[in-house]
Structure 1
Amino acid sequence: MVNDIKVGRTNVDAKNGKVTFTPSKEDSIERLMEQGTDFTYDQVVEDIICDKAMLLILREALAELNREEQELIHDLYYKELTVREIGIQEKVSHMAIVKRHMRILDKLKKYFL
């Protein structure tokens, strides 16, 4: 049994009898599962694909940030430090960190519009 979301087309040229196969532009469940996608009963395939697309956009957007901006995002979202903790580390006020953070988020928002 094939679990493709949509199958491709097979075309036969009437003149020379040549058979060509045009694959579908949609993805297959098998390929998504090979990449580690876990289909739980409450997830819709379209939602999963949209989430993956958003993550790809976010990765590209983060790569466009300079080193300091990337470090701040890493500290806030990956290390889960507070703005006060980062302010203490960098010897600046927490409000300076908040303002930097807001400028970075404004830069990132442009990628999602």
Structure 2
Amino acid sequence: MNLIVSTRTESRHIRLEVNGRWLHGDALRLAYLVKAAQGRARLDRFLIDLRRVTSDPASEEKFMVCDRLQRVFEPPVQIALVGDATLIDADIAAAAPDGAARIAVFVREGEAMTWLLA
């Protein structure tokens, strides 16, 4: 995986900070890293900070992280993503099917935390 991920367990959620240029396949790898963090910490709320993730300037493809997270998680998991909504597949999060984890994309971390811990 081309991305660098740091994980910190907070009292009510797990925080993941992601850095680097994403490549094809990184979204699924990231989803499984989040799943592994869940197994270690036994928490079901995640804040994933993608503000330092970039794409290849020649690529018009979106970082399909919402789709991959929905494939890996189910309720009661809640995931707040913070980042550039034009880079992330935010439309997938908004149209989540029944039985899928709750995922939302935010530009500001404060709004993400309010939603996540409500």
TM-score range, shorter chain: under 0.3
Structure exhibiting the larger radius of gyration computed from Cα positions: 1
If asked which structure has higher relative contact order (CA below 8 Å, sep 6+), I would say 2
Structure with the largest fraction of helix: 1
TM-score with structure 1 setting the length: 0.21
TM-score with structure 2 setting the length: 0.20
